[in-house]
Structure 1
Amino acid sequence: MGKTEHEFTQWSDFEFQPCDPPIDGLSEAILSRDDETGAITRILKFEPGTTTAPNGVLTHDFWEEVFIFEGEFVDERLHQQFFAGSFATRPPGMEHGPWYSKTGAKMFEVRYYPK
């Protein structure tokens, strides 16, 4: 089937849900999903004071591209702060996180699996 077709839609019209696994202050709005391939496009939202430390360092089997469009967060493993306008591409198996956001952040993220 592929991803659902959307003409221009305000991202703020999408409903935010807790992430899986749940972290206090972290939520996502799924903009599109392809259940056949596992590809997802979403907005990830950190409320002020959110930490993903309970999840520890992450790795996964998919590609991930992330663009911070609002706010900031600190990568606690790298001891580095990233701000709106920052972009990352993470291949499968790359270690990343955990993060902490003092003021909150919003990120546009695309996930997809290698062929």
Structure 2
Amino acid sequence: MDNREFYIPDVPPFPLENSSKIIITQLSEETSIQTWPPGFSTGNDIITHTFYEEVYLLDGSITDLSLNKTFGKGYHAWRNPQMKHGPYQADQNLGCQMLVIVRQSDYRSNV
């Protein structure tokens, strides 16, 4: 990826209207902004993956359906590879917008 000084990424307006799909704005190989429409659900399955994942909620909220807890703007998550989490559902009225950073599982050995 080329160097980028400060710029305004092409992020959709929040909350999303007339959409049933997540919109992912890729900022770099590891970094994206995910915009979830109101009521979007990841399904019923617990989520795991092979990479580190960091999430910062920018707006709206999501509910962890396993924990029955809702997290909103300003909440942060750090997930090690294979950590079980979710499933999730976005706020019924607003949806959710989040900054997501992923790093491959060998990330810590390269630091």
**TM-score of the two chains, using structure 1 as the length reference:** 0.77
User: Do 1:14 and 1:30's aligned partners in 2 also have CA atoms closer than 8 Å?
Assistant: no
- Residue 41 of structure 2 corresponds to residue 48 of structure 1: no
Equivalent-residue separation in structure 1 for 2:48 and 2:3 (angstroms): 30
Equivalent-residue separation in structure 2 for 1:113 and 1:89 (angstroms): 13
User: Do 1:25 and 1:48's aligned partners in 2 also have CA atoms closer than 8 Å?
Assistant: no
How far does the alpha carbon of each residue in 1:29-77 deviate from its partner, in whole angstroms, 9 at most, with x for none? 11001xxxxxx100011111111116x2110110000000110010111
Percent identical among aligned pairs is 31
RMSD over aligned CA atoms reads 1.6
> What runs of 5+ residues in structure 1 fail to find an aligned partner?
16-23, 34-39
**TM-score of the two chains, using structure 2 as the length reference:** 0.80
Residue 28 of structure 2 aligns to a residue in which SS?
A: strand
Equivalent-residue separation in structure 2 for 1:4 and 1:57 (angstroms): 36
Q: After TM superposition, what 4+ stretches of structure 1 lie above 4 angstroms from structure 2?
A: none
> What runs of 5+ residues in structure 2 fail to find an aligned partner?
13-19, 107-111
The count of corresponding residues between Structure 1 and Structure 2 is: 97
